[in-house]
Amino acid sequence: MTAEYSSGLAQGPMIDEHDSCAIIASIRRGGEATHGNLKRTIEALGKMEHRCGDIHGEGDGCGVLTDIPRQLWAAALEDAGRPAWLSEDRRFFVGYFMVPVEEPEHVRRWQDRMLALIAATGADLLLEQAGATRTEALGRMARAQEPFFWQVTGVMSLCPLHEIERRHGPRAGHNGIGGQAETWHPPVVHNGDGCSSRPVLESATLRFYASSVPGNGLGAFNRDPIRIVVEGGAQDGVGKVLDCGRVVILKGLNHEGARIDGSVGKGLGYRATGGTIIVQGNADSRACVRLSGADVIIGGEIAGALNDSLGNLGATANVKGFLCEYMTAERVLVVGDPGPWKCAGMTGGVLYRRLQPEFNLDWEAFQRRLAKGAQVELCPTDSGDGNHLHELIDAYIDELKLSNQTHVAQQVKALLQEWQRNFAKVIPLHSGICIHQ
């Protein structure tokens, strides 16, 4: 149904509407969140004059439902002395409540009841506050019955309470995460003989957000159960001699809300013997040197068609050179250009790389990127590689979803639809049957 509108009442077929609800949908093919969507929706809501209270001050209300404004809540949490990165966690929640104002005591009783219900679910309350409102925007009758607008935010328990005991600085009002100091440690377990012991920690996450770039050696010698997540980037030596656990470097949000960087410096995963390393952006030179047991995913992608005739292949590559030198075991996946001088001295493991002939990243381009004297074979993937590629890419997708990059995760998942066409592999010479196609 369509209609023409003037500055007054709606004209056209909508004039005959009686007691009917309506939904406004503003859709753009770009797939990006913009303020324009909100502006267009508010303009459309203004046409529902019987809902907005513009007709004799009446109207039963209308509004806009959006996703959680995580950057705004990050700033609010930081102002309140809370860990701002929690606003990016998928377990972060926000509650908006309209409390009828019969008397002040009624509002407080209602709030206390809601806080008790939230606590009963095992959630951690982070912040409660009165929401900002504009009374003058309400119609006459709505102003006479204006409720109290209350906002509550928290997280649904980062870990089960029987696994992690949280100790935090004092704050009046509730016992949520935060305060002036916060430490995490395993709870004390009292045995039947009266002795006490501390069990092994089952999980722990270190998270750096807001385009953070930690210094050299992030995750070096890391072991289970520690999981390190950075939204921004990292310097040299990420995951050096990694034993277990996971190190994840994702793109961070800049001041305009765009995802940028997600890259690491030299020596990624040097001599790593276990665990998983995931990098959404690029890696500097000598990534995965002497790798002997860890899985590594490097997700940086080429931006346009390559022109190898210009030389200096490392300048535009997503890995700047010497990838998988002296590698002896496990799996490496490179989504973009693996760079020059790769696989020198490689004696074990497998390097999966993406084929993009439309960007000149074909079999011949990979051959040019091999180190002179590298004793390896370039092979198409076969039936035995399907599970390996699914495991690597699924791990990458999981981390993208956890950082609210659902659209990017869908693009990465699409690579699995024709994985035999999209990927090839590099293996040591004579380590397996290889039929070049």
Q: Cα dist. 166→154, 162, 179, 205 in Å?
A: 15, 11, 11, 14
Residue 352, strand partner residues: 333, 425
Output the pLDDT for position 92. 85
Closest C-alpha to 83, from 153, 151, 33: 153
Separation between Cα atoms, residue 35 and residue 256, nearest integer Å: 12
Helix axes 386-402, 406-413, angle to 10 degrees: 170
All structural domains of the chain with their residue ranges: 1-65, 67-200, 203-428
Output the pLDDT for position 228. 94
Output the pLDDT for position 254. 83
On whether the CB atoms of residues 141 and 58 are closer than 8 A, the answer is yes
On whether the CB atoms of residues 255 and 237 are closer than 8 A, the answer is no
* Domain covering 203-428 assigned CATH 2.40.110.10 in the classification: no
Output the pLDDT for position 209. 77
On whether the CB atoms of residues 209 and 84 are closer than 8 A, the answer is yes
Separation between Cα atoms, residue 88 and residue 257, nearest integer Å: 13
Q: Cα dist. 399→276, 287, 378, 404, 421 in Å?
A: 12, 21, 29, 9, 25
How is domain 67-200 classified at the architecture level of CATH?
A: 2-Layer Sandwich (3.30)
Q: How, if at all, do strands 196-197 and 189-190 pair?
A: antiparallel
Q: Could you identify the residue written with the tokens 């309470």? A: 161
3 state DSSP class of 171: coil
Instruction: Please tell me whether the peptide bond between 83 and the residue prior to it is cis, using omega within 30 degrees of 0.
Output: no
Give the contacts of 120 (CB within 8 A, at least 6 positions apart).
none
**What is the C-alpha end-to-end distance of the chain, expressed in Å?**
56
| Phi, psi for residue 10 in degrees, rounded to 5 | -60, 140
Output the pLDDT for position 265. 96
Output the pLDDT for position 404. 84
Query: Per residue in 304-318, pLDDT tens?
Result: 999 999 999 999 999
Query: Per residue in 375-396, pLDDT tens?
Result: 999 999 999 999 999 999 999 9
E-state strands within 72-175: 92-99, 124-130, 148-155, 165-168
On whether the CB atoms of residues 412 and 396 are closer than 8 A, the answer is yes
Q: 362-366, long-range: CB within 8 Å, 24+ apart, which pairs?
A: 363/424, 363/436, 365/306, 365/308, 366/338, 366/424, 366/426
Residues of the chain where predicted confidence (pLDDT) is lower than 50: 1-18, 158-199, 433-437
